A and B are shown apart, each in its own frame.
Chain A
Amino acid sequence: MKIRNVNANQLNSDTAVETVDVSKFYGEVRAVDGVSLTVESGQYFVLLGPSGGGKTTLLRLIGGFVRPTQGQVLLHGADVSDLPPNKRSTSMVFQSYALFPHMSVEKNVSYGLKLQKMPLIEQARKVTEMLALVGLEGYGRRMPHELSGGQQQRVQLARSLVLESDVLLLDEPLAALDANLRRDMCLELKRIQEQVGITFIHVTHNQDEAIAIADRIAIIADGKMIEEGLPRDIYERPSRKFTAEFIGQNNLISGEVAAVDSEHVVVDLGFTKLYVARPEQCPAEGAQVTVSVPAEKIEIANQAPQETGGAQVLQAVYEKESYVGFGSQHQIRLPDGQEFIARSTTTGERFQAAPGDTVYITWPKLAARLHTS
């Protein structure tokens, strides 16, 4: 277990939050299992993962609502693992029900300032400023139960931001809102973060949300950090198999490495061999690997295409089509029985086939990714 020995003079102001191999065990259950991540100042960092995967626990570890079983939590380089939430420079926005129902919007937002014994005039000024920032000017006198869900979340935001903490933690802040509102609020959050300039750590299980606003994403599942990186990289070039399964719509197929050459890795799928572009971390011969191909990169045709530009063509049996609004999803079956999904948009020539027809699929060589774990 790594333990950092830091003293106050080494306060690193570029790294806002760092967890060092942090874990939280509840008896046998490993809610968070050895997660080490780094969040830079001013970043919009998203913890993305399936429900129950530990991302909320991780957030609460950072906020001080949960004490680590092992490992450390560092804020600006200083070890805060032993500090309760009111002693840390973080603020939290909760999913719902966290406004004080017996206080008005004003009183809610100024609560933290009141605790700091700030003069009332100062408090009033900051509250007005903050309400304007979140788009709730003039709502000061209202009571929480008079507000809609989206408005309540904005008040929470104001309440946390007014404290001028360095790090804002958001625990599935948009989960209780309906889809339309979620999209709008999502962008609002990003706007506010850019305007205020502090670090945001946002937990969600919704990948569209994550990809839309994050500067960096960390995938958390089963208490572990699976992968971390830029949204574009996570989406287009996931390195772990789990990531490929979780994000976007990818088709996964497993096989064994038959051969490796300077440009390709040859994966034996059983019914055919796939030539996949060789990645940096090259697997050895005989290794079990998974290949993932994004559904939207698959081109599907009734006849075997003549010109593929070096890409492979696979033969498959067509199953059915599903209309999904912006396009169609085609379900096809590979020779070994596995299902693939190809997506086509409604522009251009509309592809058609009847169930049972033989169809041909192909994809750009670089679209396929190789996963060893």
Chain B
Amino acid sequence: MPASPSIWQRLTGENGLQKWGFYVPLIFMVLFFALPVALTLVWSFFERTTFWMEPGFTLFAYESFFTSARAENYLFSMMHSGISVIIAFSLGFPIAVFVRRRVPQVAQHRVILLFILPFMISELVRVFAMRPILGRFGIINNLLMDMRVISEPITSILFSPTAVVIGEVVSFLPFMVFSGFLAMEAVEQYIFDVCDDLGVGRVRTFKDVIVPLAAPGIFAGSVFIFVNGLGVALVPTILGGPGAVNAGLIVNQAIVALDFPLAMATSAIVIFTLVILLYIGHRLFDLTKILQPIS
């Protein structure tokens, strides 16, 4: 085969056009994700006009956030989210540990796939479905009344922070199981064998061995649930009632009121919270370890 020097074609033989094609996802994500998110900070300083906003620099939006009930609500929602995380962790992480430890390697992924099923059911449906369960004439009340535990239906479950917490746990439990499992991929089977061999007790194994190894994944999953609890308006809207307002709801209300700088300010605050959490997590645990199974 005659060989002739030609324009360099890189290993995978791309010509100029093909090579640029590879950058499309990157460019897309920068244009339509990174940029808008970064700009929320800029926009939060704009001045509000009747229907829109004007470029400028003012702290008015932040003022109206912090001097109103919104800041308080935000803090409360952080607390609720935190509780959701703890409950979800307690319910979901042991499952991940169990699967990793006791289920044969080849079947592990299949078992975890089971949790895709609830995940794939619309969040709307899962959250709506809580209404008939938690409500006045709902299943829980009916059950408790039938069992004669209570004589009157408990009205305070639905439309309260409790409902929000329950709703969030139900929404995000599959994520906790997934991220827990991903975290547990950092714990090889032989570690369990070593612990058994050394005679390390259950609790100590968990505390000293499993948690440190799985920490990056646990943290990532927790941050995910926490931030989504702060920022997703759906759950408080459907289940929350007047007291449970989170940042997502604030943003929605601001947009309806055409107060865009406020919406941006609230978004910026949530994003800021997210970044701080991820940064702390990375310093503590080196979150990049989670990506090992993928690479």
Interface residues of A (CB under 8 A from B): 8, 64-67, 75-76, 78-89, 165-166
Contacts and interface: CB of A to CB of B under 8 A. Distances in A.
Q: Which of B1, B3, B12 has the most CB of A within 10 A?
A: B3
A84 B7 CA distance: 11
B288 to A, nearest CB: 20
A83 B2 contact: no
Contacts of A64: 11
Nearest to A60: B11
A65 B12 CA distance: 9
Contacts, number: 44
A312 B9 CA distance: 62
A209 to B, nearest CB: 29
A84 B11 CA distance: 6
Contacts of B4: 8, 78
B6 A65 contact: no
Contact of A65 (B8, B9, B11): B11
Interface string B1-44: 11111111111110000000000000000000000000000000
Nearest to A65: B11
B13 A84 contact: yes
Contacts of A78: 2-5
Interface residues of B, number: 13
11 contacts: A8-B4, A65-B11, A66-B11, A67-B11, A78-B5, A83-B9, A87-B6, A88-B1, A89-B1, A165-B1, A166-B1
Nearest to A83: B3
A83 B6 contact: yes
Contacts of A81: 5
B3 A89 contact: yes
A67 B10 CA distance: 8
A219 B8 CA distance: 31
Contact of B8 (A79, A82, A88): A82
Nearest to A163: B1
A11 to B, nearest CB: 8
The 9 closest A-B pairs by CB, nearest first: A89-B1, A80-B3, A78-B3, A82-B8, A84-B13, A84-B9, A79-B5, A75-B3, A82-B5
A64 B1 CA distance: 14
B3 A87 contact: yes
Given A80-B3, A83-B3, 13 more contacts: A8-B4, A64-B11, A75-B3, A76-B3, A80-B5, A82-B8, A82-B9, A83-B9, A84-B10, A84-B12, A84-B13, A87-B3, A89-B1
Contacts of A65: 11
A328 to B, nearest CB: 40
A67 B3 CA distance: 16
Nearest to B9: A84
Contacts of A83: 3, 6, 9
Contacts of A8: 2, 4
Contacts of B7: 82
Nearest to B6: A82
B154 to A, nearest CB: 60
Nearest to A73: B3
